[in-house]
């Protein structure tokens, strides 16, 4: 009780919630698989496991960002990384000659049309009443803005990797966000389904909220089945963050 | 008729509307004057012309930005410029010793609480259905976000001077916005009540919408009583932009 009270009091300073997006706010695996199934149906393509396709596509995301993070490659946005990886997995799945260039461009925009988890929009609408809310995502500005418009995600503003020309967990992203806000780090809370994202945020003095999303990666999920540290908030949906923040 | 049709067709490529904020979306003069009057009433201060106070405060804005633009001063955000100028005008109006430091800090946040012109929020709600909408303002991110939350301005994202570390009409602001969006300049429309802002935007290939706000500066208004060029849209409110864009 005393501990809960202390925590609530310290969270009273929070003014801004920054949310990881892929996996935390939106279900990329289910969304990409559904869009793939629809395209396959329209084109009469059979025998593709679109859930595996979505996971393979996503698996190219970390290595693609790592080359930029390490400086091996100059700044390259996530839309280009998605597009490059698409060519690889289309041939991996043996369907590269079933799509025109225009269709491939449209497929790479699947990532602009991801569906939120069911608790995300209701939870964010509650949080928006009392806090400034924004993504802090490795997505691009146009991806995050287009996704939000389609899905009704009510961001107050959008922090994207291309604003900071860096990908999380590069400190430039967290520190850049705090500096732009002109706030103390403890006035800013990172909301994420990934312990390593929260680890980085906490190392810079931010508050932390962990959302448990044990189905994000489906059969490929190897971690983030549970909180691995005493994050300020630990819950299983964005509505749970709203509960914890008392709004 | 043919000319209108050509213009409409060319505007069909527009995907994003970037709006000047001070004067175009919000009435800074009336808002600051009203807040000043309220503070004066609470503190029993008499004899101050708060409309003149608001105009004097705003008059420090351009010279303050000019020193940053010219490189004479390293990057300094608009909140600091507002705060510095406040000290000057409080003594100019002979009331500097009527306010504590905390009260002065709160007064400098008057600029976070400006009221929209009556057509702004209804017009932006219409435009938001079909376009991405954002400020492109010399305000700071926290100023623009706090103002939007208080006033219900439904931005999709927020482009502020501190993202680009430059003030309009520095080309870095317009070009930085276009680059972050990853769009062609002609897919982006600048919406402003100031001909010089549109002049700069057009020089970078952007579309332009002029809103006539002949009362922005009150007795100090010396220009922008009318469009001085053949901007793509010329109207007298944000709802007029929505009409012109057919939404």
Q: Tens digits of per-residue pLDDT, A173-189?
A: 999 999 999 999 999 99
Check CB contact under 8 Å for A182 and B142: yes
Q: Flag whether pLDDT at A162 surpasses 90.
A: yes
Confidence at residue A3, expressed as pLDDT on a 0 to 100 scale: 62
Least confident of A36-50, A53-67, B129-143: A53-67
What Å distances lie between residue A92 and A95, A150, A189, B180, CA to CA?
8, 30, 40, 32
- As for the ipTM of the complex, it is 0.92
Quote the DSSP letter at residue A112.
G
Output helix, strand, coil percentages for chain A, rounded to the nearest 5. 55, 10, 35
Q: How far is B221 from chain A (nearest CA, A)?
A: 32
With contacts defined as CB-CB under 8 Å, which chain A residues touch B105?
Answer: none
Least confident of A68-82, A101-115, B138-152: A68-82
Q: Tens digits of per-residue pLDDT, A78-106?
A: 999 999 999 999 999 999 999 999 999 99
Q: Tens digits of per-residue pLDDT, B95-108?
A: 999 999 999 999 99
With contacts defined as CB-CB under 8 Å, which chain A residues touch B158?
Answer: 156-158
What Å distances lie between residue B43 and B68, B82, B83, B97, B134, CA to CA?
35, 22, 20, 12, 37
Q: How far is B32 from chain A (nearest CA, A)?
A: 23
Interface test mutation site (partner B, options A76, A147, A157, A184, max chain B beta carbons within 10 A) = A157
Question: Peptide bond before B169: cis, by omega within 30 degrees of 0?
Answer: yes
Check CB contact under 8 Å for B180 and A162: yes
Check CB contact under 8 Å for A180 and B79: no
The C-alpha R_g of chain B, in whole angstroms, comes to 18
Distance CA A104, CA A106 (A): 5
Check CB contact under 8 Å for B157 and A162: no
User: Which helix (H) or strand (E) is B206 found in, with range?
Assistant: none
Cα nearest neighbour of B161 on chain A: A180
Interface test mutation site (partner A, options B130, B135, B141, B147, max chain A beta carbons within 10 A) = B141
Distance CA B149, CA A212 (A): 29
Domains of chain A with CATH codes = 2-27+114-244 (3.40.50.1000), 28-112 (1.10.150.240)
Helix (H, G, I), strand (E, B), or coil: what is residue A68? helix
Interface of chain B toward chain A, CB-CB under 8 angstroms: 77, 79, 128, 132, 140-142, 144-146, 148-149, 155-158, 160, 162-163, 180-183
- Tell me how crowded residue A175 is: count the other CB atoms within 10 A of its CB: 16
Q: What's the pLDDT band for A5 if we cut at 50, 70, 90?
A: low
With contacts defined as CB-CB under 8 Å, which chain B residues touch A182?
Answer: 77, 79, 140-142
What Å distances lie between residue A101 and A78, A95, A108, A137, CA to CA?
19, 13, 11, 28
Calculate the average pLDDT of chain A: 95
């Amino acid at each position: 009780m005393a501990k809960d009270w202390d925590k609530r009091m310290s969270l009273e300073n929070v003014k801004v919630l920054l949310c990881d997006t892929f996996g935390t706010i939106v279900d990329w695996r289910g969304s990409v698989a559904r869009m793939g199934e629809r395209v396959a149906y329209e084109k009469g393509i059979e025998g593709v496991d679109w859930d595996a396709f979505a996971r393979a596509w996503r698996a190219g995301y970390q290595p693609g960002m790592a080359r930029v993070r390490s400086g091996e490659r100059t700044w390259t946005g996530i839309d280009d990384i998605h597009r490059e990886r698409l060519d690889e997995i289309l041939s991996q799945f043996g369907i590269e000659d079933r799509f025109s260039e225009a269709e491939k461009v449209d497929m790479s925009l699947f990532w602009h049309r991801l569906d939120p988890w069911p608790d995300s929009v209701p939870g964010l609408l509650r949080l928006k009443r009392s806090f400034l809310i924004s993504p802090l995502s490795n997505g691009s500005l146009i991806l995050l803005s287009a996704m939000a418009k389609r899905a009704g995600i009510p961001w107050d503003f959008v922090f994207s990797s291309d604003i900071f020309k860096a990908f999380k967990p590069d400190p430039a992203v967290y520190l850049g966000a705090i500096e732009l806000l002109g706030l103390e780090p403890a006035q800013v809370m990172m909301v994420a389904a990934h312990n390593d994202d929260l680890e980085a945020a906490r190392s810079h003095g931010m508050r932390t909220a962990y959302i448990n999303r044990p189905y994000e990666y489906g059969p490929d999920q190897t971690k983030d089945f549970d909180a691995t540290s005493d994050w300020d908030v630990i819950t299983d949906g964005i509505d749970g963050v709203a509960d914890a923040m008392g709004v």
